[in-house]
Structure 1
Amino acid sequence: MAGKLFCAKADAAVTAFDDAMRSDLHRVRALRVGHAWSAIGVYTSEILRQWREANPEVLVRLKRVDDPAGGLTTGQSDVAIMRTRTGRCSLHEELLLMEPRVVAVPPGCPLIGRDEVLLRDLAEYPLVINSFSGTTNLDLWEEGGQPVVAVEVDTIDDWQSYIAAGLGIGVTPASTAWMHPHAEISYLPLRDAPAVPVYLVWASNNRHPALRSFIQLARDVVAEGAA
């Protein structure tokens, strides 16, 4: 944890130095978009494509940050894509979309052959949870019908590794299947699981000149995709 904190502070210091050295308005530093694991899922590539066409002079830099606040409070990000609320009054949160959930299972799991999977079907399987930046906890299940937590991790890579090894199953937003396919993991729809909110979050005092344009583009692309 100490190493992560040091790297975050160092990254923020470098960014602050770059901003101080850019005295001319014609050179705008990259807009840093923090996310924990899956950005904006299926909309990510289209947003980046449209941004490059409309704003070739400003790079959008996706930055995976293992941080519950998306790197905003450490200065690593200008705007973050988050699937949990921060609860910080200094951060502005805007709901962008609602994502369905899927269950991630290892090879040979009996759930793979079912016509549909419900939350109650998972109670007998051990669960792998990303307790640092994930969206799944035992509150998804009714008391008395909860699965056992096999292991808790803090990165998407470790989460997938334990599931692929057969130590448990995982519940995650559908964007994980899109952004992080895995040869040894099958992602199955969960019919009765509540959807996951996806937020755009930014500090109210952030003054990056491209921030508002990026937020509007993300809104437009998601709205067009949902139409």
Structure 2
Amino acid sequence: MTPAPMDAGAPSSRPAAVEVRHLRALVAVAEEGTFTDAAIALRTSQASVSRLVAALERELGVRLVRRTPRGATLTGAGQAVVVRARRVLGDVAAMVRVAERGEDGEGTRREVRIGYAWSALGRWTTVLQRRWAAEQPGSVLVFVQVNTPTAGLLEREADVAVTRRQLDPRRFATAVVGTESRWAAVAADHPFARRRGVRLGDFTGQTVGIDARTGTTTQDLWPPDAAPAATRDTHSVDEWLTLIAAGQAVGLTSQATTFQHPRPGVVYRPVLDADPVPVRLAWWRDEPARWIEDLVRMVTELYREAG
């Protein structure tokens, strides 16, 4: 005889088979607010995220997420589970770091992973790696590109992140290590390409490519009466550069991009009257490491040397 299906709200007599991937999917939905954005953050499909959350709900026997036309919201049970899921993911990430990156009792780590969404540290990226290797024998800096708002911190793909946007101060500690000027990115045959520099007012009437999730360009840079004609949303620096090279938009970015991403068909010009972009290093507030102070000092010195 086929057994009757178990009621979703009834307790199960067997232990729940909860997996780390289930927890990652739930936390991503909680952080991003939609299944679509959670899928982008996890670099998977929306259907996969939905299946993982549904599987977790079946294992726990309780509804965790409400699907709404505007996105997804956590139920009361979902909020409680997410708090514990973050702790579990943090413990798992710490275990992996100790095993794979060689952290010892002195707080020394053979490999430090620095996440970035777009441009790392520009011209200073490889300079920093060499200085670190010279001052921290046996340890290496590895830069990893993760195009999410926390540049890999939330996803536990990075130990520290380079960010040009302020992160949630309740969860992440940050240090401003320098500033960068803003530059326009335009197609080689665009009129801006023939100038030595441009001004914010020159963008009036232009279509501007932006990355709303990780970029530094927002409508707030312009007064209401001098805003660009339109914006085009992009989801990676490669997509952004391709759009610009085709003449379908212009861009506004920090100086690091000009060093990190030279592209045939794209010309960079300084924006003469734009405020500089603060460059920050960020890390989990409750997981400070001894090497953080050395890293902040070293990066700050590099920006200071550049004047």
Q: Which TM bucket (shorter chain)?
A: 0.7 to 0.9
Paired residues in the alignment total: 225
Q: Which amino acid aligns with 2:96?
A: F
Structure 1 equivalent of residue 239 of structure 2: 158
- Following the alignment from structure 2 to structure 1, what is the Cα–Cα distance between the partners of residues 151 and 141? 16
What residue ranges of structure 1 are gaps of 5+ in the alignment? none
- Following the alignment from structure 2 to structure 1, what is the Cα–Cα distance between the partners of residues 180 and 125? 14
Structure 1 equivalent of residue 183 of structure 2: 102
The structure whose RCO (Cα within 8 Å, separation 6+) is larger is 1
- Following the alignment from structure 1 to structure 2, what is the Cα–Cα distance between the partners of residues 19 and 4? 28
- 1:71 aligns to 2:152 (yes or no): yes
Contact 1:36 1:82 in 2 (8 A): yes
Report the identity percentage.
Answer: 27
1:19 to 88, 98, 107: 98
Label 1:5 to 1:124 Cα distance change in 2 as closer, same or farther (>3 A). closer
Contact 1:125 1:147 in 2 (8 A): yes
Give TM-score, length-normalised by structure 2. Answer: 0.66
Contact 1:132 1:153 in 2 (8 A): no
Q: Bigger CA drift: 72-81 or 131-140?
A: 72-81
What is the deviation of 1:7? 5.8
- 1:89 aligns to 2:170 (yes or no): yes
The 5-angstrom pairing of residues 181-196 of structure 1 reads 181-196=262-277
Cα offsets for 1:60-104 (capped at 9, x unmatched): 111111111222223222111110101332211111111110110
Higher helix share: 2
Label 1:131 to 1:204 Cα distance change in 2 as closer, same or farther (>3 A). same
What is the deviation of 1:148? 2.4
- 1:221 aligns to 2:221 (yes or no): no
The 5-angstrom pairing of residues 31-180 of structure 1 reads 31-180=112-261
What is the deviation of 1:6? 4.1
What residue ranges of structure 2 are gaps of 5+ in the alignment? 1-36, 45-85
Give TM-score, length-normalised by structure 1. Answer: 0.88
Q: Bigger CA drift: 208-217 or 13-22?
A: 13-22
